[in-house]
Copies of this chain bind each other. A is one copy, B any other.
Amino acid sequence: MTTARGFFVRSEPLRLTQFSKKATNFEILRNLEICVLGEGVMTDQPTAAVIGLGSMGWGAAVSLLRAGIATHGVDLRAEVLEKFRAEGGSSFDRASDAVADVDVVFIFVVNGQQAEDVLFGSGGAVASARKGTVFVICVTMEPSRAIDLAERLEAAGMLALDAPVSGGSAKAQAGEMTIMASGRAEAFDKAGSCLDAIASKVYRLGDAAGKGSQVKMINQLLAGVHIAAAAEALTLGAKIGLDLGMLHEVIQECAGNSWMFGNRGAHIVAGDYTPHSAVDIFVKDLGIVTGEAADHPVPLSQTALALFKEASAAGMGREDDAAVAKLLATKGGIKLPGMT
């Protein structure tokens, strides 16, 4: 049971649900009656856990708290747990301790192997979760592995959503991620208010696990190629003597623009490679693309992957993924902003 301040509506079957501030949810008002305005006690607000408080998981966890959902955060780093307590959350360093009394568990670890460990490994979540807990797996991984994890969760009596996210750390912090999810309707229903708390768009891509991860894989193909293309374009621009700030501004008004050119291009223009994402993330994600593509041709993904691998081997694996521009600049014999 949690206490939260806000608008409440009475729905059928009769129960109190916190009314989201998000405009998209105003539609449900049509069939509802506003019965309480102000602070109240809610009997069915779910409780949530977020395993992995990196940039995306942190954003999800604080967005859940902001929506009035009691949230347990799990991370290995004591300073992150301390910071999460300061935000009003409950902090745990073991997944098994955090999930015993929660309804929805978000997994925001780095890769498929870590997801398997926090779910089924020693101290993992599944052994101590209640039957029927919804596990929302927001990790970018091989679609085949996502299907396997969902099957094992359901065999253990749990519900599962294959639910990778997109949007970057700023949108995560604002509760405005995009979620690409697939899984059973019951899982969507039970996790609904939590998904709404962290995302501005929730795409329901069908009943079957795997569809979410497949769409995310295609997104990462494009994202990785576009980052490398932005790096190639701005580095060539610098080589031929163009002002990078002007070039970056003009292209954003032209047909050559991409979300990544706008976002990561700004990092290159500023010479700021503070990691929001990281080179090694795209070594992983484009590796998933080329692996799952098997003999299907993905020449641009392969070319971009080779660049990210080379940048990682040159020591830039934990820098911002836009650091691939520094690799190209070095090869071209020029210096970009921020290169010494």
Contacts and interface: CB of A to CB of B under 8 A. Distances in A.
Interface of A: 143, 166-168, 178, 180, 201, 203, 205, 211, 214-215, 218-223, 225-226, 228-230, 232-237, 239-242, 246-247, 250-251, 253-261, 263, 289, 292-293, 295-301, 303-304, 306-307, 328, 331-333
A107 B254 CA distance: 20
Copies in the complex: 2
Contacts of A260: 255-256, 258
Nearest to A164: B254
A209 to B, nearest CB: 14
A257 B298 CA distance: 18
A256 B253 CA distance: 18
B253 A201 contact: yes
A214 B240 contact: yes
Contacts of A292: 240
Contact of A289 (B143, B230, B236): B236
A256 B289 CA distance: 14
Q: Which 7 A-B pairs have the closest CB atoms?
A: A222-B256, A258-B258, A219-B256, A166-B254, A296-B332, A225-B229, A223-B256
B239 A230 contact: no
Nearest to A216: B254
Contact of A232 (B301, B306, B332): B301
Nearest to A251: B219
B253 A236 contact: no
A233 B293 CA distance: 11
A137 to B, nearest CB: 17
Given A211-B242, A226-B256, A257-B259, A250 B167 contact: no
Given A259-B256, A332-B296, A233 B242 contact: no
A219 B254 CA distance: 7
B250 A221 contact: no
A297 B332 contact: yes
Contact of A218 (B143, B167, B256, B258): B256
Contacts of A167: 254-255
Nearest to A261: B222
B222 A230 contact: yes
Contacts of A211: 242
Nearest to A257: B259
A229 B221 contact: yes
Contacts of A332: 295-297
A129 B102 CA distance: 80
Given A246-B205, A255-B260, A292-B240, A232 B221 contact: yes
B229 A222 contact: yes
A232 B219 CA distance: 11
Contacts of A201: 253
A166 to B, nearest CB: 4
B299 A240 contact: no
A111 B301 CA distance: 30
A226 B223 contact: no
Given A225-B229, A232-B298, A203 B250 contact: yes
Given A225-B229, A229-B229, A301-B232, A237 B218 contact: yes
